[in-house]
Amino acid sequence: MSLMETSSSAIWKRRVSVVQVIYSELIADQDFSKLDLSDQRDNWTDFENKIFDNYLDNKQRYISVIESYLNADWSLERLNTLCASILLEAISEFHVLKTPIKVLITESVKTAKNYCDENEYRIVNRVLEDFLKNEAVNT
């Protein structure tokens, strides 16, 4: 395994750790900004902290963004919660770290293929492609 593959894998695992905490927050339906996450966050780098803090600050806005790219009769609640968490992590990362579009789509689809139901990666792919293409045009 090359150094680049190892580095890429480590960053992917960091993304997954943020997805897991977002997932927990969505499942618990709690306001994590009022909870003590210091134990979880002690192991995080600036990478994870920036993404998660941005998510907390913009959760409702990002949910609205995702819903605007779903079919008209769908809402975030209709998505698998893990897929929603992947999308929320990717959108938060895009806004705070300006991660390249192709990287976000590739990494998010990889996460969905590993953790979501068989074809749900397609929803992640489509929503992110549409969102990120629109963002690229508007920036």
**Which backbone phi and psi does 77 adopt, to 5 degrees?**
-65, -25
Check whether 63 has a pLDDT greater than 90: yes
**pLDDT band with cut points at 50, 70 and 90 for residue 122:** very high
Check whether 125 has a pLDDT greater than 60: yes
Place of tokens 């492609």: 129
pTM value is 0.88
Q: How far apart are the first and last CA of the chain?
A: 37
Check whether 104 has a pLDDT greater than 50: yes
Check whether 130 has a pLDDT greater than 70: yes
Q: In 34-51, which positions are buried (b, 16+ CB within 10 angstroms) versus exposed (e)?
A: eeebeebeeebeebbebb
User: What SS3 class is residue 30?
Assistant: coil
* pLDDT at 27 (0 to 100): 85
Q: What is the mean pLDDT of residues 47-64?
A: 96
Place of tokens 């990287």: 103
Distance CA 106, CA 103 (A): 5
Check whether 3 has a pLDDT greater than 50: no
Report the percent of the chain where pLDDT is more than 70.
Answer: 85
Please report the domains of the chain, with CATH numbers, ordered by start residue.
3-138 (1.10.940.10)
